[in-house]
Amino acid sequence: MNIPTDCWIPNPERTGYLNYDKQRPAVEVLEEVRQHLGSLRAGADGATSLLDQMEYFDLALGLGPERTFARSAELPVFPRGRWVAVFAVRGASEGYYIHVDVVQVSTDSGLAFRMVPAFLGKTFDAEHAKKAVAALTFLLEAG
Helices (H), 8-81: 26-39
pLDDT band at 75 (very low <50, low <70, confident <90, very high): low
- Proportion of the chain above pLDDT 90, given as a percent: 58
As a whole number, mean pLDDT of residues 33-47 equals 85
Cβ atoms of residues 57 and 121 within 8 Å:
yes
CA distances from 106 to 81, 113, 142 (A): 10, 6, 19
The span from the first CA to the last CA of the chain, in angstroms, equals 15
Three-state DSSP state, 105? strand
Reported as a single tens digit per residue, the pLDDT across 83-134 is 899 999 999 888 999 999 999 888 777 778 888 889 999 999 999 999 999 9
Three-state DSSP state, 51? coil
Look at residue 29 in the predicted model and tell me its pLDDT. Answer: 93
Q: Can you give the length of the chain in residues?
A: 143
As a whole number, mean pLDDT of residues 27-51 equals 88
Q: How far apart are CA 137 and CA 131, in angstroms?
A: 10
* pLDDT score of 28 more than 80: yes
